[in-house]
Amino acid sequence: RLCWPGSGAAAMDLFGDLRRMNKRQLYYQVLNFAMIVSSALMIWKGLIVVTGSESPIVVVLSGSMEPAFHRGDLLFLTNFHDDPIRAGEIVVFKVEGRDIPIVHRVIKVHEKGNGNIKFLTKGDNNEVDDRGLYKEGQNWLEKKDVVGRARGFLPYVGMVTIIMNDYPKFKYALLAVMGAYVLLKRES
């Protein structure tokens, strides 16, 4: 029988397949799904350790860094604290009061004799520096604000993430289809 995704018949087929599985097969499929999820988490945690960044991969969410990076580009980050921050470098930073990290270029660096470093950022496509984005009264960023530094990128690969955030129903439908596939896929 032919069933199209999104149709009631497809949902009935899904539940029919689940009912036809014996308990052992169902447990096996649930364990497969759990293994995939835990493997993904282990890979993510491994990347955090290797790169020194709390978020080793980020998606560019705005056009403020064009032409260097476009909305949807996937950035690979490192954050080794021994590496000095230099003007011209692209950093990802968090500002108190904002949930989403910002990807911008360092335009000025002030180094003090005690090793303290303060710096100012700006988006390549913006007219003014980022002081308006920092928390009130803050004029400079410090190393503690840096999530990571851009070391490489894949163009537009992150558009999937942007689409899933802009259209939550699409995200849940995609997750349901992937979950159903993993649960119902039978090994030969």
Residues assigned a catalytic role: 64, 104, 130
Cα distance between residue 175 and residue 118, in whole Å: 42
Q: Between helices 8-20 and 168-184, what is the axis angle to 10°?
A: 30
Backbone angles phi, psi at 30, to 5 degrees: -65, -40
How far is C-alpha 145 from the chain's CA centre?
Answer: 18
Q: Are 114 and 99 in contact (CB under 8 A)?
A: no
